[in-house]
Structure 1
Amino acid sequence: MNEQLVRALIDVCVFLEYSGDDVIEPDAAVKAFEDLAATLQSAEPSVQRELRSEISRQASSFGPGTSSFVEHLADHIGLHGAE
């Protein structure tokens, strides 16, 4: 799995989650996150598991407040777990 691509995906999710109302309209942020999640959920289960693993691996590279969000990001997106 491409580490930079996963990092970009994480960064977008962090932006949508933590940006204030003065940066992005809350309903637009929710819609963007839901659309992103739906697209990722349509990926093959093996791709979802790889993505889940890489997101988990990268979580520790974020600060204390954000790392917890990233650790749970795969669940928030609804990605398949290990089978």
Structure 2
Amino acid sequence: MANHKSALKRIRSNEAKRLRNRYQHKTTRNAIRKLREADKKEAEAMLPSVVGMIDKLAKKNVIHDNKAANLKSKLAKHVATL
């Protein structure tokens, strides 16, 4: 168990950040799933918001920058072929 006040605070803040990251990551994955199932018009409307969600995850280091780039590329290609 941590003995210092700052260590206790770090444990609390890390847990809050972990839960926030998990929620945002799961929400983004669900949005990607919905976009892949949507028809052309819906997918085109959803694409900018989903790309923004992916960019935000990459910016916060929840996912790697290259993974974000790959996801965005695949989604853009998917929407273009609909």
TM-score, normalised by the number of residues in structure 2 = 0.39
Query: When you count helix as a share of all residues, which structure comes out higher?
Result: 2
Point out the structure with max Rg over C-alpha.
2
Structure possessing the higher relative contact order (Cα contacts under 8 Å, 6 or more residues apart): 1
